[in-house]
Structure 1
């Protein structure tokens, strides 16, 4: 059996009944019907009704009663209108899907990869900063772990080659710890603030030279923002809203220029 040019649709079947197909397409439709008894029975029923209508209309000039001929015309118009309505319904369904797509596009924006999903993962030192912050919270609850509030920026710079940002006047240093890292020592400073409570300021030399503007990273129950100036990278971590972390990171970064 020859393969069909195009799939046979209900529109093709209606056109077949109405003698609107060319010979090649009629043959394809008949091949389609020969393998589908139910569709063939429906088409045969439509053909019989068409022929009966034609007989009734042909006889309306002589032997058929006017009421019979008028009923035949109304029935033929009804059948034709039903086929047109079927086509319109299919077109309307397509239009509904298209309209729904445009509506969704207008309400939630273009369907595409968002900046958050498409953005690169934060540097590994951000995870170190969050881990150091959680460790500080553990130390806070342990009376056997004394805090080291004595903070000397020059001493930290001499020992680690890390320049720490200048802190706001209303911030109180609670603890300063030096942690090891794969690139050398890192600094984790716990600071008490009025707006955000306990904040961790983490600094590390990540082994690369770069300039990165403050970038916010949600981390579950805490938020963090990281930035880098030259060979030193910084991260601010706190249980605060993203906007508060962002503004704090920007303020700290400005003190290093």
Structure 2
């Protein structure tokens, strides 16, 4: 007989972020987060803030005052026990990063970082989404390759465990295909839109649980916005303005909740 699982509370989530839980309780928290995407998104945000703060402290310049660094470390440890843990730590992280930024500015002068250098490397599935988009365009140009515009989201979910977002009413679906990928079956949906033109929505299960907000990246002549909710990752690809694609991706992500 399985033992009952204690309810997951705010203290458990904070302890999870601070690596203060035993392995068995961490597993219970992770199982809870799998079924509560809003909480999972909040926890992932806290994990990133924690890691950014620790990274800033680990990479501190030698010109920083010892008193300031000691105070920052004490602040990081103390915030984990505070009821205002999340809000204050965000402020602390920004403050530490700004402080180090000014120290670097004074030491080396202003840093000019290009857009490509500053951008994070997108996940590997984004590259597969771009290739699937180009393949869909080739298929659309061939008379011998008719598109399958009729599709059943429930059937796709049953066959692939991939949940497709609700599409805007003005999107005209032209083709839906199941593509092979490095992670298993993926879904490629091609549509024609008024704002973005020819667009592809790619969905795949990358094999790891994560919550990633919509993030824009570029690949030659196309722009992609990717995000992940739990076990499924998505990428919206089109030859369109980055802001328009970002806004469309955010709307699609919201329709999944």
Cα distance per residue 1:4-25 (max 9 Å; x no partner): xxxxxxxxxxxxxxxxxxxxxx
Tell me if 1:140 matches 2:137: no
Cα distance per residue 1:19-78 (max 9 Å; x no partner): xxxxxxxxxxxxxxxxxxxxxxxxxxxxxxxxxxxxxxxxxxxxxxxxxxxxxxxxxxxx
Tell me if 1:246 matches 2:256: no
Q: Cα offset for 1:191?
A: 0.9
- Provide the alpha-carbon RMSD of the alignment: 1.6
Cα–Cα, structure 1 residues 221 and 114, in superposed 2: closer, same or farther, change >3 Å? closer
Could you say what secondary structure the match of 2:182 adopts? coil
Write out aligned runs for 1:157-176 (5 A): 157-176=157-176
Q: For the Cα contact (< 8 Å) 1:151–1:173, is it kept in 2?
A: no
**2:101 maps to which residue?**
none
Larger radius of gyration: 1
Write out aligned runs for 1:58-207 (5 A): 110-113=110-113, 116-207=116-207
**Paired residue total:** 150
RCO higher in structure (CA 8 A, sep ≥6): 2
Q: TM-score if structure 2 supplies the norm length? A: 0.56
4+ long deviations beyond 2 Å: 112-116
Give the distance between the partners of 1:206 and 1:112, measured in 2 at CA. Answer: 34
**1:227 maps to which residue?**
227
Write out aligned runs for 1:14-53 (5 A): none
Structure 1, unaligned runs of 5 or more:
1-104
Q: TM-score if structure 1 supplies the norm length? A: 0.56
Q: For the Cα contact (< 8 Å) 1:205–1:232, is it kept in 2?
A: yes
